[in-house]
Amino acid sequence: MTSFKKPLIAIATAVALATTSLLALPANAATTALTVNAVAVTTAPTTAANAVSLAVPANDVVNATNTLKIALTSVAAGTNVTATAVDAVLLTSLTNATSASGTATVNIATGTGTTADIFVFTKTTKTGSVAVTADGVTTTYFVKGTAGALNTIKVDAPTAALGTTAKVSVTGTDVFGNAVSGSVVALQVVSSNASNTYSITSDATGVATRELTGLAVGKYDLIATATVATAVTGLAAPVGFVRGELKIVDLAALVAEKDAQLAVANGKVTEAEAKYAALVKRFNALATQYNKFVKTKKVKLIK
């Protein structure tokens, strides 16, 4: 009898261990379907290079057209599905959703069900990511927004020295501050005796630039206009008309004036002599600049 008991005990033990192992195994991993506006995403967006392109909700409406739907099925009943987004926004429903809706994390308790839906949208053109965990498996999906219509322009013009190239730039962004390329801007440069208008187009960074040469010392009014989006309640108001100022300064004259002041203070020259020296230095600087643009009738410098 003893010889039969040992094999029986061994078999019983093996069966018990196998049964325990089966009970400890996780349920089948959840199945995931990705769609945008009910159209399947055919290339898995599991790398930044394959990020799903989504339009930003520039009209303040978040719906199927500008969201990535992550539909999970066959989720183990009673478990939670979690998701965390970076540079993206998560929703569990699109009902009355706007650009102010959503969070960076969601936690869906499936209860007795086996499905979970997550909707992803973005307000930035950065590449965002969403890490979804279901049945112990985490998968990261990538999305990238495309800028909306031009909403705001601003003009910038650093002070430039006489004789150098002055650079005026106009930056265009959508309602969320994303750079908008290809925007056409009319830039008007106005001085006391002249007015010129230039048509400039923004580059990939949303900046339209105009380089100006041959400007005299003084202040120039800058007026930039562009066609912008229609106003949307709840979002930043469009700005398609802005003004700025460009200053052209004579650095040589400023240096000469400063040198003259120091010379007077140190008793080296009288105030009248200092003013004369400063005027001569400024005249020579202007004459030098003038002579660069003419081939004949050059101005003689004062020695």
Residue 237: give its domain's CATH number.
2.60.40.10
Segment 112-136 mean pLDDT: 96
Give me the number of domains the chain comprises.
Answer: 3
pLDDT band at 290, cuts 50/70/90?
confident
**Does a structural domain hold residue 2?**
no
Query: Is the same domain home to 236 and 169?
Result: yes
**Does a structural domain hold residue 64?**
yes
Residue 274 has a pLDDT of: 67
**Does a structural domain hold residue 270?**
yes
- SS3 of 53-107: EEECCCCCCCCHHHCEEEEEECCCCCCEEEEEEECCEEECCCCCCCCCCCECEEE
Query: Is the same domain home to 208 and 281?
Result: no
Residue 103 has a pLDDT of: 98
Query: Is the same domain home to 104 and 184?
Result: no
**Does a structural domain hold residue 23?**
no
Residue 264 has a pLDDT of: 66
Query: Is the same domain home to 259 and 243?
Result: no
Name the residue range of residue 194's domain: 152-249
Query: Is the same domain home to 113 and 38?
Result: yes
Query: Is the same domain home to 141 and 185?
Result: no
Query: Is the same domain home to 261 and 192?
Result: no
**Does a structural domain hold residue 234?**
yes
Chain mean pLDDT for the chain: 87
Residue 272 has a pLDDT of: 75
**Does a structural domain hold residue 301?**
no
Among residues 126, 181, 189, the alpha carbon closest in space to that of 150 is found at 181
Query: Is the same domain home to 267 and 183?
Result: no
Segment 137-163 mean pLDDT: 96
**Does a structural domain hold residue 10?**
no
**Cα–Cα distance between 101 and 302 in angstroms, integer?**
71
Is pTM, for the whole model, over 0.85? no
**Does a structural domain hold residue 19?**
no
Task: Print burial letters for 99-135: b (CB count within 10 Å at least 16), e (below 16).
Answer: bebbeeebebebeeebebbbbbbbbbbebbbbebbbe
For residues 16 and 163, the model is more confident at 163
Residue 244 has a pLDDT of: 97
- Name the domain boundary from 146, 169, 196: 146
pLDDT tens-place string over residues 54-86: 999 999 999 999 999 999 999 999 999 999 999
For residues 285 and 148, the model is more confident at 148
Residue 20 has a pLDDT of: 34
Residue 106: give its domain's CATH number.
2.60.40
Query: Is the same domain home to 116 and 193?
Result: no
User: Lowest mean pLDDT: which of 74-83, 104-113, 253-262?
Assistant: 253-262
Query: Is the same domain home to 36 and 87?
Result: yes
Query: Is the same domain home to 281 and 188?
Result: no
pLDDT tens-place string over residues 200-252: 999 999 999 999 998 998 999 999 999 999 999 999 999 999 999 999 998 87
Query: Is the same domain home to 142 and 73?
Result: yes
Residue 267 DSSP label: T
